[in-house]
Structure 1
C-alpha cells in the first residue's frame, strides 16, 4: 500500500516589501554617508556611500515578512496556522480596510499589517486553544490570498 503524500504545494506567496517611497527615502543615505566621509577622499567616500545605500535597501527587502499558503498551512511572517482553524475569510480594501486596521482591529488577534499596502484579509480563528481570536494580514492581492486560504481549507477538510 502506498503512503499518501500530504499536499505541500505553494498556493500563494507574497513578500510584503517596503513601498517605493520608503526605498527612495532609504536611498538618501548614500549621499549623506558620502558627504560625511568626504574628508577621507572623494572616491572612497563615494564607494562607501553607495555601498551603505545598497546595503540598507537590500536589508529592508530581505527582512520584509512573507505571507504564504503552503499546502494546508497559512504562514504570516513568523506565525503559522493550519487552514482548518480559520473561519470564513473576509477581504477588505479601501475605507473598510482602513477601519479594520484601526478602531475595529481585534486586540487579541494575530496582526501582520504593513503601511503602504491597502488590502487586508481578516479571518476568525476557530481553534479553542489558541488565544488569538482573529488573523489580520496585509496583502497587495487580497482576493488571491483569500482564494488560496479557501483552497487550503477545502484541501484540509478532505480525507486523505
Structure 2
C-alpha cells in the first residue's frame, strides 16, 4: 500500500473549523514590564548589590516563562464536513462520535461548574483568566469521563463547531 492509499479522500480531509490559543492576557505582560522597569530603576537608585540584580532579572524572567507556559494551551476543532471530526484540547483529542452534546458555560455559571458541580472524573482545561467555558458531554460507554470542561474566549464559536448528537 502506498501513502496515497492511506490518505482520506480530498473531500473528507479534516479542516480546522475552530482554533484558539489560551494565551495570558496582554495586561499581564504590560504589568510585568512596568514592574520590571520600576524594579530596575529602584535597583539603580539604591546601588543594588549583585544578589538584588539577580532577583531583578530572575523574577521577571520566571514570570515571563510562567505566562508563556500558561499560554501554550490550544483548543482546536477539525471537521471533514461530513459529520466526522476531532476536538483537540491541549494534548487530548476527542472524536466527534464520542460527543453527545455541548453547551456554553457563561461567566456567571463558571464558578458553579468548577466548584460543587464539578465531577472528579471530568476532563478539564481551565484558565482562570478566561471567563467563559464550554461543556462537552460524552457518549462513550468505554470512557469513564462524563464530560470535558474547556476554557474558551469564543464559547459560541467552539460550541457551534462541535456536533450535537443528542437525540431526544
Q: TM-score range by the shorter chain?
A: 0.7 to 0.9
Q: Which residue in the other structure is 2:155 paired with?
A: 142
3-state SS, counterpart of residue 14 of structure 1:
strand
Give the TM-score taking structure 1 as reference length. 0.72
Deviates more, 1:26-35 or 1:69-78: 26-35
Q: Which residue in the other structure is 1:89 paired with?
A: 102
Question: CA offsets, 1:107-154, max 9 Å, x none?
Answer: 10100011121111111111111221110001111000001112xx68
1:66 aligned to 2:40? no
Q: Which residue in the other structure is 1:16 paired with?
A: 22
- Taking the aligned partners of 1:8 and 1:56, their CA distance within structure 2 comes to 37
3-state SS, counterpart of residue 77 of structure 2:
strand
Residue-pair matches, total: 145
Give the TM-score taking structure 2 as reference length. 0.69
> Which residues of structure 2 form unaligned runs of 5+?
80-84
Q: Which residue in the other structure is 1:126 paired with?
A: 139
Question: CA offsets, 1:77-117, max 9 Å, x none?
Answer: 11111022011111121222221122111210100011121
Q: Which residue in the other structure is 2:32 paired with?
A: 26
Cα root mean square deviation, aligned: 3.2
> Which residues of structure 1 form unaligned runs of 5+?
155-160
Question: CA offsets, 1:59-92, max 9 Å, x none?
Answer: 6236520100123110111111102201111112
Question: CA offsets, 1:9-43, max 9 Å, x none?
Answer: 11111111112343344333455467389556xxx
